[in-house]
Amino acid sequence: MGNSKKQQADLYDKRIALQRQIYAWRQAQLVYTPHAATMVASSTSLDENGFPRVEVAENTPLFLPSSFPSHIQSLSEMERICNMEKRLRLAQAEDALVKICRQRRIVQGLWQFKRLNMTGMGNRPNTKMLTLYNRISDKIERAAQKYHTARVALLLLDPEGTWNDRLKELRREDIRGPSKDDPNDRKTSNGRFEPSWIWLVQRNPGSTSQTKDEFNASMKVEWARTHARMMRWDEEYNIVQEEMRRVLAWFEWKALWWEEQADRRAAGQSDVLHGASAYAHKQAHIAHCMALRCAADWLPVLRKLGIEPAWGINYPQIKGDEKDSTD
């Protein structure tokens, strides 16, 4: 009970402080922002005694230019103040994205630390880790809400601006990464993982929220992983084709080997020569058919992907997506 009263007192003090800041802002706004007085007066409601109703501080509208009707925003005297808010909103959106990326890196490091050092350590350390994760998640949610608010204002102030190329719509599934080492991302393999667009945004050169060197340093590990994965894929690309060639070469060699066995019986054993020769030719035919079947299964797939292997010239009867029907 005592803790609840203290929280209520702290909330009251913060509301009073915020209300004072809004009052000071309102005095400057009425002087420097055209048409602000009309907007403030039209939104003021009266209580049952006829006095202006006092709103909760956090619910008090600030009446920035983005909240004005479009016919007021288009007036010439509003151009300067609208540009000022646009610069403010751009900075807010970029700062929010930087904060989201920073917190996501912390979350990823947190889960890696837990997996390596705290697996099976009992309820207390796991509860502390979960509490810390929830605290960081709350920060991410607040930063995402700040980004949404700033972007909505930008859409009202400058809907066709160049900022659209960098500051895209932020969906819940976009808040992930930087890499796949995320316990919440179990469905995507390393080969098909694509980083979220929030990690690919080019920062404004005039922004002080994150420099180019800081961004490069933060993505160094992810770049190294991606580069190593690309080199491994290139190696697998060559290995798979070489394995296909060796399989076909082995079947063709085996067919020739069986054909050679057909004539190895001595002339004095003519009673079984015809049977042994027929068996050897049968085995050679089976090996040759196995080579054709493998080539018929592989060549159309490779050609569909734009790959023309060197051993493909040995099987001219296989064209396009057609497969040899020989069993």
Q: Which domain does 14 fall in, by range?
A: 1-63
131 and 210, same domain (yes or no): yes
**Predicted confidence band at 60 (pLDDT cuts at 50, 70, 90)?**
confident
Q: Residue 324's pLDDT is what? A: 43
> Does residue 118 form part of some domain?
yes
Q: Does residue 98 register a pLDDT over 80? A: yes
196 and 283, same domain (yes or no): no
Q: Residue 327's pLDDT is what? A: 42
Give the pLDDT mean for 112-123.
Answer: 64
202 and 94, same domain (yes or no): yes
> Does residue 326 form part of some domain?
no
> Does residue 272 form part of some domain?
yes
Tell me how many domains the chain contains.
3
> Does residue 77 form part of some domain?
no
> Does residue 319 form part of some domain?
no
Domain end residue (candidates: 12, 31, 63): 63
264 and 306, same domain (yes or no): yes
Domain end residue (candidates: 190, 218, 246): 218
**Predicted confidence band at 117 (pLDDT cuts at 50, 70, 90)?**
low
262 and 169, same domain (yes or no): no
Give the pLDDT mean for 210-218.
Answer: 59
The residue ranking higher by pLDDT, 203 or 52, is: 203
Give the pLDDT mean for 132-149.
Answer: 91
Q: Does residue 205 register a pLDDT over 80? A: no
194 and 239, same domain (yes or no): no
Q: Does residue 234 register a pLDDT over 50? A: yes
| pLDDT tens digits for range 10-48 | 888 888 888 888 888 888 888 888 888 887 777 665 455
| Backbone Cα Rg of the chain | 36
- Global pTM value: 0.59
Give the pLDDT mean for 229-246.
Answer: 88
258 and 286, same domain (yes or no): yes
Q: Residue 208's pLDDT is what? A: 47
Q: Residue 143's pLDDT is what? A: 93
> Does residue 68 form part of some domain?
no
> Does residue 37 form part of some domain?
yes
Domain end residue (candidates: 193, 218, 243): 218
> Does residue 70 form part of some domain?
no
214 and 89, same domain (yes or no): yes
202 and 248, same domain (yes or no): no
266 and 297, same domain (yes or no): yes
Q: Residue 28's pLDDT is what? A: 85
Q: Residue 323's pLDDT is what? A: 45
Question: Which residue, 155, 170, 160, is CA-closest to 66?
Answer: 155
44 and 138, same domain (yes or no): no
Q: Does residue 147 register a pLDDT over 50? A: yes
204 and 122, same domain (yes or no): yes
